A and B are shown apart, each in its own frame.
Chain A
Amino acid sequence: MVQTTITVTVDGTSYTDQVEPRMLLVQYLRETLGKTGTLIGCDTSNCGACTVHLDGVSVKSCTMFAVQADGHEVTTIEGIAGADGLHPMQTAFHENHALQCGFCTPGMIMASIDLLRENPNPDEQMIRDGLEGNLCRCTGYQNIVKAVRSAAETEAAKVELGATIPVGQPS
């Protein structure tokens, strides 16, 4: 089969691999790199479980080919925690019980981080609109909205204290 060479930075590490042109990015992440934190829920880009960041912007990794990530920077759920602990959005999901089975959680967190990048202080309705592309079958979404609000508030408090790291950048 035809193979193409791609070089992708994933969670801060550069990888060069031979891939089939039609290999999906999510397959590359899971099967080639072993980044199994990124999950496949629906196969059809409806559920968002596979959401990752491409150059800091959220994409559903089952909607793009690995070759499309060539030369780009991919951040997965496994790459957002800093050396000093969890990303604020991870902490917020953890503390607000914004998860049950956890299968939607990585994608939900990645989409939420991107939501706050675009709008650091969304109200409940904006959060609902912004995460519409991610499905959860367990929680009824209440605690997910709470978690995103709480992360936004935490970040706002940090900015007031003079911290400069905006949410959405891999720390």
Chain B
Amino acid sequence: MSTLSKRPVNPVVGASEPHESAVGHVTGRALYTDDISTVRRDALVAWPVQSTQAHALITALRTDRALAVPGVVRVLTADDVPGHNDAGIWGDEPLFPTEVMYYGHAICWVLGESTEAARLGAAAVEVEYETLPSVITVSEAIAAGSFQGTPRVSRRGDIDAALSQAAHVFSGEIETSGQEHFYLETHASLAYYDEGDQLYVQCSTQNPSEAQAVVAHVLGLPRNAITVQSLRMGGGFGGKETQPHGLAAVAALGATLTGRPVRLRLNRTQDITITGKRPGFQMTWTAGFNDDGLLVGLKASMTADGGWCLDLMQAVLSRALCHFDNAYWIPAVEVHGRIVKTHKTSQTAFRGFGGPQGVLLIEDVFGKAAPALGIDPAELRRRNFYAPGQATPYGQVVKDAERMPKIWSKLLESCAFERRQNEIAAFNDSHAHVKRGLAITPIKFGISFNASFFNQAGALVLVYQDGSVLINHGGTEMGQGLHTKMIQVAATALGVPRSAVRLAPTRTDKVPNTSATAASTGADLNGAAVKNACDQIRERMAVVASGLLGVNPADVRFSDGAVTGLGAAEQLSFAEVATAAYLQRVQLSAAGYYRTEGLHWDQESWTGSPFSYFAFGAAATEVEVDGFTGAYRTRRVDIVHDVGDSLSPMIDVGQIEGGYVQGAGWLTLEDLRWDTSNGPTRGRLLTQSASTYKIPSFSEMPEEFNVTLFDEAHEEGSIYGSKAVGEPPLMLALSVREALRQAVGGFGPAGHPVTLASPATPEAVFWAVDEARAATQAATTQSAMTPGTTTQGTSTAAAVTTDSEQPPSLTPERSSILANP
């Protein structure tokens, strides 16, 4: 067992601890950014002027009427920027644009004495536009040749040979929608110059160091002049990885120019219409199987909707191109990825970060191929799992591959899969208008940032003479429980009770040059850094204690606040040793550091070992679909998931439940719709509030939800044997999409391959049921006309659909399932 993964006796990690801020949350005392802002009574309020064009040159920007509004103090424009007018990481995101790139793009910002004054001021700003041609959909962008970033290819083997020799070849197309983060706390920042004349920015961000860098860039200041704090976020989900930083820069610029604190909080509509989302992908695929149902090759293309600027899209595409294999061995592969540029909000990080789109692709392949192959979908998936020793298309051997079939068997058994499958078959036979479906899908998700250099972290640990401990690390808290885990890690490493450890807010002046809390790596990276700092202090304290106890330093033990020596009768308290250390002039603080070992990645050849390990899991979901309306309900969800040796089981189970539900939202409910007409509001997001953008609520809860953490799950390469948990469970929700597909299939003839749009809203499910029923009808008619024709044969032919059969309001997934000649 590695030093990093080995737990001492009586570890505080592994206990189900309540969330570190739970008391604050239930009493309302836990503060968010805008709560802190209310205390600053002298703060000005920033309000944006948003574009009413999808793509246009700004030919005139007149602010004089705004300045005449009572209470308006200043209008921030490009002319005010002392440094660089850019809020991004690639230099393609002007903070104050002269060319608006999407409907809702913030053009300039009004500072007012009150929200009302700022709002009225913004309404009084006059903007004149010269309209330019716009591209809104992915298809429009492809047609217009509107691309950005670098296209990438994942290749292995001879795909053309594999497909030409395959016994069965299927192909399909799918367009999946984007997703709005809908963190309950909208973006917020507060900036002011503090008593030391330092620019202080409290920002709801997952990446304080990047906020600091962007503010410094915009203001033309060195980074040491700026401190960014991220106290906590009311949800992030990736939406606060890059998106807060231009907003923080606006507040900081305002504070710099006026000398007063500036607060900025987007209201919900502004948040949805200004900031980035999960990108939609348009994907086409051709997959070959042999007679045993084993995949022999996959040729596919993924076109990601990149929105107006590159943002994190290159990295999102990378992860998609590293996850289309999901848990499956695919001998021959050629998958192309590219990014289009559209006149929409930025497309950015969102839990899973391209992984979900990649996984969706391969699960679509299995979902479509299974009925045509006549193999049960669960069995078809199992047969294709990676075997130990096999490598991903990018060449990384799948560590712990044997866990996947173990998890699978465990789940099949615990959810009584076979019995329920039979029950469902009987139910479907006896119900013409209601059908049920039960599907099981796996997840294998690579943990680490794809870009190796991000995989580092720092921490600062202070022990005081009374034995109390204060820790600080570079990760941010967005509800995921990172701070709770870090306290548990520190308490474990120092051998003190949890109550002896307090955590101070994440700030750039405590731990510098941090990576975003993202890619599920928060606990892995920061936990290892916290442990490293604690280990340094504990080792120094062991030397002090060894003198007091009369034992060798190697024989000193720290546990639950007591310090003992092997064979020594005396017992010291942690506080006594801390005091003694101070008196002996032994340092009781330490900076911790960690870098993940063994990672490498070559993006030109698309090969390497970008991931420290893989997280595994599987989910089985049962749904019931109403044939008249397409409405459905989730009857039961069972999950077995691998979090390694859990650092904090209650928190991990919460992440799994929440991740699944958020994934189910993406796949079944959340329907971002943009105005694609040529009317005056072309490019406007039509679903810009909670009343039109539907996130999961209590009514969509699975009626029964069982989550089990996989045991035998120790991870050698990670902090106290644990694994990351943030993102992987989101993709377990693919099982609800596949269950819907199977239930819809119940309305069609045997072997009917179901085409299902994404998100599979009740409306989309209705159209899929409609198509399945039409296939049944066609099969009946045809078999009446030509006796002797098999049902299977006719249904395959009937499954070929055309666009004209789909209502224009949908984003139809077009598909043809063709037997290989």
Contact = CB atoms under 8 A, between A and B. Distances in A.
A39 B35 CA distance: 8
Interface stretch (A2-10, A64-72, A87-95, A155-163): A87-95
Contacts of B144: none
Contacts, number: 175
Interface string A19-34: 0000000000011001
What is the interface of chain B mostly: helix, strand, loop, or mixed? loop
Size bracket, chain B contacts? 35 or more
Contacts of B183: 101, 103, 137
A95 to B, nearest CB: 7
Contacts of A38: 28
Contacts of A46: 689-691
Interface stretch (B75-83, B163-171, B650-658, B753-761): B650-658
B234 A132 contact: no
B515 interface: no
Nearest to A128: B698
Interface string A92-120: 01110101111111100100000000000
A164 interface: no
Interface in B18-60: 18-19, 21-32, 34-35, 38-39
Nearest to B663: A140
A107 to B, nearest CB: 9
A150 B478 CA distance: 26
Interface in A127-147: 127-129, 131-132, 134-143, 145
B39 A41 contact: no
A78 B267 contact: no
B414 interface: no
> Taking each of B21, B662, B701, which has the highest tally of chain A beta carbons within 10 Å of its own beta carbon?
B701
Interface string B133-151: 0000000000000000000
Contacts of B234: 39, 41, 101-103
Nearest to A36: B35
B657 A99 contact: no
B689 A42 contact: yes
A37 B29 CA distance: 6
A61 interface: no
A165 interface: no
Contacts of B16: 97
Contacts of B654: 97, 100, 138-140, 143
B32 A105 contact: no
B661 A36 contact: no
A49 interface: yes
Contacts of B34: 36, 40
A58 interface: no
B574 interface: no
B479 interface: yes
A77 interface: yes
A94 B690 contact: no
Nearest to B657: A140
Contact of B184 (A36, A127, A135): A135
Interface string B648-692: 001100110111111000000000000000000000000001110
A44 interface: yes
Contacts of A101: 183-185, 232-236, 478-479
A81 interface: yes
A93 B27 CA distance: 10
Interface string B775-786: 000000000000
Given A43-B267, A94-B22, A97-B650, A81 B27 contact: yes
Contacts of B349: none
B422 interface: no
B173 to A, nearest CB: 31
Contacts of B659: 140
Contacts of B697: 132, 135, 141
Given A97-B654, A101-B233, A77 B699 contact: no
A37 B651 CA distance: 23
Given A44-B691, A139-B657, A86 B39 contact: no
Contacts of B267: 43
B184 A100 contact: no
Contacts of B651: 97
B360 interface: no
Interface residues of A, number: 52
B32 A132 contact: no
Contacts of B660: 140
A47 interface: yes
Contacts of A129: 698-699
A19 to B, nearest CB: 12
Interface string B724-749: 00000000000000000000000000
B481 interface: yes
B182 interface: yes
A40 B478 CA distance: 17
B185 A39 contact: yes
> Taking each of A39, A76, A101, A134, which has the highest tally of chain B beta carbons within 10 Å of its own beta carbon?
A101
What is the interface of chain A mostly: helix, strand, loop, or mixed? loop
A136 B26 contact: no
A143 B481 CA distance: 15
B782 to A, nearest CB: 45
A34 B813 CA distance: 51
Interface in B626-663: 650-651, 654-655, 657-662
A22 to B, nearest CB: 9
Nearest to A30: B38
Contacts of B31: 36
A100 B655 CA distance: 9
A78 B658 contact: no
Contacts of B237: 137
B701 A141 contact: yes
B695 interface: yes
Contact of B27 (A37, A104, A132): A37
A77 B23 contact: no
A145 B694 CA distance: 20
B479 A102 contact: yes
A99 B690 contact: no
B155 interface: no
Nearest to A79: B28
B581 to A, nearest CB: 35
B268 interface: yes
A1 B21 CA distance: 40
B342 interface: no
A18 to B, nearest CB: 14
Contacts of A31: 38
B26 A99 contact: yes
B564 interface: no
Nearest to B265: A40
B190 to A, nearest CB: 13
A118 B15 CA distance: 36
A42 B19 contact: no
Contacts of A103: 32, 183-185, 234-235, 479
Nearest to A42: B690
B608 interface: no
A136 B479 CA distance: 12
B427 interface: no
A135 B184 CA distance: 8
> Taking each of A40, A41, A105, which has the highest tally of chain B beta carbons within 10 Å of its own beta carbon?
A105
> Taking each of A30, A90, A140, which has the highest tally of chain B beta carbons within 10 Å of its own beta carbon?
A140
A38 B478 CA distance: 18
Interface of A: 30-31, 34-44, 46-47, 49, 76-78, 81, 86, 90-91, 93-95, 97, 99-106, 109, 127-129, 131-132, 134-143, 145
The 3 closest A-B pairs by CB, nearest first: A37-B28, A101-B479, A103-B234
Given A40-B34, A102-B22, 20 more contacts: A39-B32, A43-B268, A47-B184, A78-B28, A78-B29, A99-B22, A99-B26, A100-B654, A101-B236, A102-B19, A102-B24, A103-B479, A132-B698, A137-B184, A137-B662, A138-B658, A139-B658, A140-B658, A140-B662, A143-B657
5 contacts: A39-B185, A47-B184, A93-B26, A99-B26, A140-B659
